[in-house]
Structure 1
Amino acid sequence: MTGGAGMLGSSIAEQWQGIRPNDKLIVATRRDADLRDREQTHRFLERSRPDAIIHAAAKVGGIQAKLSEPTPYLLDNLLLDSSVLSAAIELRVPELLYVSSAAIYPASARQPIGEDQVLDGQLESANEGYALAKIAAGKVCEYASEQFGFSYKVVAPSNLYGPNDDYSIGRGHLIAAAIAKIHAAHVSGALTVPIWGDGTARREFTYVMDLAQWVVSQIGTLDSWPAVLNLGCGQDHTVAEYYETAKSVIGYTGEFTFDPTKPSGVPQRLLDSTRARGLGWNPETPLASGIATSYEAFLASQQTERR
């Protein structure tokens, strides 16, 4: 598995032993290979000789980071995806799960978004570079499966949240950023927390441990999957509602200020995960309890940093 230090990768690693104790999981780190380097990546996979690959490594970030520094979200993802996928094909690894993103769908996609809408319209501008790289890698998986008979499949999760998220303000995704900002205001006694946009944009967030558990259970059965599979919890909320839930969990008593001059992305992004539910996908973690667990993990990480 690549991307073991990321939120989803680390969650998969945590779940692996309990679900598949007889299968060895090799978690690639930067000490093993710089995945942007094709030769290093090929040598690492040649030594590992995997039966399957979970490719979860990616250059990721929130909307603010993608707008201010767009180049690496296209270039770095193209490089590391090309290295991993080409090595997998050359070494004839029979199964590969590529972790993509809901950003691959058009900004004007019909809601809820079905898997057939890839390349069906213009991408959201803030996510364009990242999405282009994800679409390209997804097509490589599709071509490799058709040309060589491999089971290289693409999973397009909704936005994720949970333990091991990136809580750095300015780089974290919506829920992680909300937790970090509200906590800072709660501790400092600040009366308001600023939020980009008017708070009405709707997003779907799935608890990462639900996704990790299911992915671990599916390795070895990807030949039964379609080329692309959406994985979302099936319910979206407004940005303001996510902030209100985090506010309640943290116990903050201040107010929110919205800045409609700042970009907030597409009005709605909700995935149609019907195909996945037909394969047994059934996430059950309620939003409030998921955010509460995430906040506990955030507090623990803050204590570790202070030591």
Structure 2
Amino acid sequence: MKPTDKIFVAGHRGMVGSAIVRKLQARGYSNILTRTHQELDLLDQAAVHAFMQAEKPDYLFIAAAKVGGIQANNVYRADFIYQNLMIEANLIHAAHLADVNRLLFLGSSCIYPRDCPQPIKEEYLLTGPLEPTNEPYAIAKIAGIKLCESYNRQYGRQYVSAMPTNLYGPNDNYDLNNSHVLPALLRKAHEAKEQGATMLEVWGSGAPRREFLHVDDMADACVFLMEREDIRDGLFNVGTGRDVTIRELAETIMAVVGFDGEIVLDSSKPDGTPRKLLDVGRLASLGWTAQIGFREGIASTYEAFLRQTAASLSR
């Protein structure tokens, strides 16, 4: 990528998209194209096509998606599969028609089978059944990967897919009904501290193991993949290569927040996949590794949460 290249970041207001914009700006890219949902509805095929024909970006980052935690994925199953299929199909096809040759599609580690070997290699895709609670979302993301592969094979495009592990960081969603586990626990621990509570409720058994990646590391990996002109296609896991139990996650968050209470496990809530640890060897072999430590990342995220909370109260 050259500093003057036109770069469209779809989903720039989300956690990942905003991090990609920050990373691009930090690396000297100034011609960054963004559109809000009000300015461009990515579910509207004609609107996306017209936009892409008018702007003809040189690079496209697809960070736009409908996302959520276990409960949201399980309850809003039709919304998750329909909206994600439409967003990716509209963007990828319109990019091809506008002769956009370089594109990065962001997926999710939930694309892999529920019970596949650990750590999870890219080649394990489509080798077994998916986790039932987020199957619609996973199928939509798998379709996006296959769209990229197919446009590469049929038309010679250079569309790359990046599969992040569980992400966290600035601009995360802290809604307790629709958020992922780390931001949900961060908010719950903060509120427990503020209210003088003596316990922190954690969904499930606390035993599942999860890998967590700071979103600024994810953005760095995305820009790294697009800057490497020799990377023309493929699927790349993006993670740290290390995981913790949900209970260990809760304990770390409590220590960062300064909440000294008891963890109470709610076994009536689902655990989800027992373990999701990505094999990050493919990306590491190209020279990229995550830089932000686990506790360091949670501490900076808590600071961002406090700023976000203060800003919302002052409105």
Same fold (TM over 0.5): yes
2:254 matches 1:247: yes
Select which of 173, 198, 201 maps to 1:194: 201
Structure-to-structure mapping, 1:103-114, within 5 angstroms: 103-114=110-121
Q: What is the DSSP-based 3-state SS (H/G/I as helix, E as strand, rest coil) of the residue aligned with 1:160? A: strand
Distance 1:17 1:136 in 2: 30
2:35 matches 1:5: no
Residue deviations 1:69-94, cap 9 Å, x none? Answer: 22111111011111111101211210
Q: Does structure 2 retain, via aligned residues, the 8 Å contact 1:234–1:270?
A: yes
Given the superposition, is the C-alpha separation of residues 77 and 294 from structure 1 closer, same or farther in structure 2, using an over 3 Å criterion? same
2:22 matches 1:14: yes
Residue deviations 1:38-94, cap 9 Å, x none? Answer: 001111111221111101100000111112222111111011111111101211210
Distance 2:302 2:32 in 1: 28
1:223 offset after TM fit, Å?
Answer: 4.5
Under a length normalisation based on structure 2, what TM-score does the superposition of the two structures give? 0.94
Q: Does structure 2 retain, via aligned residues, the 8 Å contact 1:19–1:217?
A: no
Aligned amino acid, residue 112 of structure 2:
Y
Q: What is the DSSP-based 3-state SS (H/G/I as helix, E as strand, rest coil) of the residue aligned with 2:173? A: coil
Distance 1:138 1:20 in 2: 29
Select which of 254, 260, 270 maps to 1:263: 270
2:212 matches 1:205: yes
Q: What residue in structure 2 maps to residue 169 of structure 1? A: 176
1:163 offset after TM fit, Å?
Answer: 1.1
Aligned amino acid, residue 297 of structure 2:
G
Distance 1:140 1:91 in 2: 16
Distance 2:38 2:178 in 1: 24
Q: Does structure 2 retain, via aligned residues, the 8 Å contact 1:153–1:222?
A: no
Structure-to-structure mapping, 1:1-307, within 5 angstroms: 1-21=9-29, 23-221=30-228, 223-224=230-231, 226-307=233-314
Distance 1:28 1:131 in 2: 26
Q: Does structure 1 retain, via aligned residues, the 8 Å contact 2:149–2:233?
A: no
Gapped regions of structure 1 (runs ≥ 5) = none
Aligned amino acid, residue 162 of structure 1:
G
Gapped regions of structure 2 (runs ≥ 5) = 1-8
Distance 1:249 1:6 in 2: 24
Distance 2:81 2:230 in 1: 29
1:214 offset after TM fit, Å?
Answer: 2.9
Aligned amino acid, residue 45 of structure 2:
R
Aligned amino acid, residue 189 of structure 2:
I
Matched residues, percent identical?
39
Distance 2:211 2:305 in 1: 21
1:150 offset after TM fit, Å?
Answer: 0.6
Q: What is the DSSP-based 3-state SS (H/G/I as helix, E as strand, rest coil) of the residue aligned with 1:219? A: helix
Residue deviations 1:87-135, cap 9 Å, x none? Answer: 0121121011000110100001110000011111100011100000000
Residue deviations 1:121-154, cap 9 Å, x none? Answer: 1000111000000001110100000111110111
Aligned amino acid, residue 263 of structure 2:
F
Aligned amino acid, residue 11 of structure 1:
A
Q: What is the DSSP-based 3-state SS (H/G/I as helix, E as strand, rest coil) of the residue aligned with 1:36? A: coil
Number of residue pairs the alignment of both structures matches: 306
Under a length normalisation based on structure 1, what TM-score does the superposition of the two structures give? 0.97
1:225 offset after TM fit, Å?
Answer: 5.1
